[in-house]
Copies of this chain bind each other. A is one copy, B any other.
């Protein structure tokens, strides 16, 4: 079966992108994964239009990547905050992959703006492409695609 004959939108990349493939979605997920939780925190940090944030958060909640939960600050009425669910946290590797690419190709002479370290040992974190047998691979080379006909419809 040839790649060109397959429908564009039944691959996992297309499906994922149809939910999160938006300039803002990635940044919202980044901010949530960095601990921001409240509507106005996100507004302030992202400089996103309020109605757009409303729609995006609703979509994320719909998807089950984010949950609204009530919280109450002293002397304030109860409000909702937004937190990543497990499904949302599973998205973090995508963000790390994006960050890696930016670090490699867009960082200036001063180096990358943020580095990730393993809290336990302090060593820098990277994303590795590895096969189940343990061989590390460089992207693009030595990768074979196997199509699952049963999952290709719709």
Contacts and interface: CB of A to CB of B under 8 A. Distances in A.
Given A45-B4, A129-B125, A98 B94 contact: yes
Contacts of A118: 131, 133, 135, 137, 142-144
28 contacts: A4-B36, A12-B112, A12-B114, A14-B27, A21-B22, A87-B105, A90-B101, A90-B139, A93-B100, A96-B97, A96-B129, A110-B151, A111-B148, A111-B151, A113-B152, A114-B146, A114-B147, A115-B146, A115-B148, A117-B143, A119-B143, A119-B144, A125-B130, A126-B130, A126-B131, A126-B132, A127-B129, A128-B130
Interface of A: 3-4, 8, 10-18, 21-23, 26-27, 30, 33-36, 41, 44-47, 84, 87, 89-108, 110-121, 123-133, 135, 137, 139-140, 142-148, 150-152
